[in-house]
Structure 1
Amino acid sequence: MDKVLLLTLVLVVFISPVRSSTSGLKVSTAQLLGFDWKNCGSPDAPAVLKTLNLSPDPVFIPGDIQASASGSTSVELAAPLAVNVTLEKEVAGFWVRIPCVEELGSCHYEDACDLLTQLVPLGQDCPEPLRTYGLPCRCPFKAGSYSLPLSDFSLPIMELPSWLTNGNYRVRGVLGMQDKELGCLTVSLSLRSY
């Protein structure tokens, strides 16, 4: 994934980090069996994700996906909003950590709010479908509930390193503010490119 897509997916999901998994498929230690997500942080985290759905499985690049999510946050999410991402790829039955190269991979983002403002500058409308559903795309994210109904997204042709194109992946993201962990999310998915 290019860094804009990866960051956008991580941050949309982290509008409210997770509380419970709704996927029927589970991840074993060495083999991915399908899309899955789960909470990897404290059960009393200030922000919680209640649902997250993604199809098709695997995700094809380029291609179309459908996604929905819902959650809430009991605290305002404002700058500086740190995100620590760990990206792993399954290689020969083992999970291998992908290092941070050009802000892609296992990276620490000191202020995701600043990155969001770079993606969608102040004065510019939020992209669809966020605009249609009245969802914010920049900080601060006020305390409250958020819901993205099932929506269509198109994944464009992306120039990816060959080692990042096809395979099973695990992404772990930890959201924090002022040295306090607000939530932790693990997402597992398969990517396929044409």
Structure 2
Amino acid sequence: MAMVVAFLAFCALLGFPSLKAAMVMPGNNIWKLTEVSDFSWSNCEGKFPGKILNLSLTPDPITIPGDIKAKVQVSTSVPLTSPVKVAIKLKKEIVTLWVEIPCVDNVGSCTYDNICNYLDMLVPPGQPCPEPLKSYGIPCRCPFKAGVYSVPESSFYIPGVSLPSWAANGNYWMMFILSSGDQEVTCAKIYFSLKSNSV
């Protein structure tokens, strides 16, 4: 569960850099991400068996490339077993309106039918979970047992990230709903701002 939330948070933080190749579409000028700021989150209203208890990324603003410190604590009263679906709604503020970004090449307001497959790509089965997850006994792939998962403040290096011009600067809002089987387990909203320079 913590791995899933951390994966989504970092995707939001970096404007989906793990999918940046799909974002760089023909005809777009490429920009270099230099700063992420105003990162915040909240759980959605309603009763869900899972929720974020704590999620922080520092410093603010975060310089890219550069080091960040992150900590996360999540809980779920139900297990998460494959398939674990994630439905994402992503919006960008344009003037005073929040405009939804459509799903194009698996980027934007998309639904991923089984995030377990993405976790298996990040850490292939048979390989040990990376630090600091390994030290704290937190799984990095499905299934996730019911319980509370905590990663104390840890340092990470964020490499350079390239973005298409349409995504290079601005304020963003993302909502994700995570489901296990037919049950919606958790829902959260993430806000962040991006600043970039043209290459």
The interval holding the TM-score normalised by the smaller chain is 0.7 to 0.9
SS across alignment from 1:113: helix
| Higher RCO structure, 1 or 2 (CA under 8 Å, sep 6+) | 2
Q: Give the aligned partner of residue 135 of structure 1.
A: 138
Give structure 1 stretches of 5+ with no counterpart.
Answer: 1-5, 14-32
Contact 2:82 2:181 in 1 (8 A): no
Question: Structure 2 CA distance, aligned partners of 1:39 and 1:119?
Answer: 26
Greater mean deviation of Cα atoms: 54-63 or 100-109? 54-63
Question: Structure 1 CA distance, aligned partners of 2:9 and 2:171?
Answer: 21
Contact 2:132 2:154 in 1 (8 A): yes
Question: Structure 2 CA distance, aligned partners of 1:46 and 1:102?
Answer: 31
1:148: how far off?
1.0
1:42: how far off?
2.0
Give structure 2 stretches of 5+ with no counterpart.
Answer: 12-36
Measured against aligned partners, the alpha-carbon deviations of 1:54-81 in whole angstroms (never above 9, x if no partner) come to 1222333322221111121111111001
Q: Which of 70, 92, 109 does residue 89 from structure 1 map onto?
A: 92
Question: Structure 1 CA distance, aligned partners of 2:122 and 2:178?
Answer: 19
The TM-score with structure 1 as length reference comes to 0.78
Change over 3 Å in CA distance of 1:138–1:117 after alignment to 2? same
Runs of 4 or more, structure 1, over 4 Å off, are: none
Measured against aligned partners, the alpha-carbon deviations of 1:95-150 in whole angstroms (never above 9, x if no partner) come to 12112222221110000111211221101122222223222110001111110111
SS across alignment from 1:189: strand
The two structures, once aligned, show a CA RMSD in angstroms of 2.4
Question: Structure 2 CA distance, aligned partners of 1:171 and 1:35?
Answer: 11
SS across alignment from 1:187: strand
Contact 1:90 1:169 in 2 (8 A): yes
Q: Give the aligned partner of residue 188 of structure 2.
A: 185
Contact 1:62 1:193 in 2 (8 A): no
1:41: how far off?
4.1
Higher relative strand content: 2
SS across alignment from 1:34: strand
- Give the aligned length: 169
Question: Structure 2 CA distance, aligned partners of 1:153 and 1:98?
Answer: 28
The TM-score with structure 2 as length reference comes to 0.76
Q: Give the aligned partner of residue 10 of structure 1.
A: 8
Map 1:103-142 → 2, pairs under 5 A: 103-142=106-145
Contact 1:37 1:187 in 2 (8 A): yes
1:12: how far off?
7.9
Matched, 1:46 2:49: yes
1:152: how far off?
1.3
Question: Structure 2 CA distance, aligned partners of 1:160 and 1:170?
Answer: 17
Map 1:8-87 → 2, pairs under 5 A: 9-10=7-8, 34-43=38-47, 45-87=48-90
Question: Structure 2 CA distance, aligned partners of 1:73 and 1:150?
Answer: 21
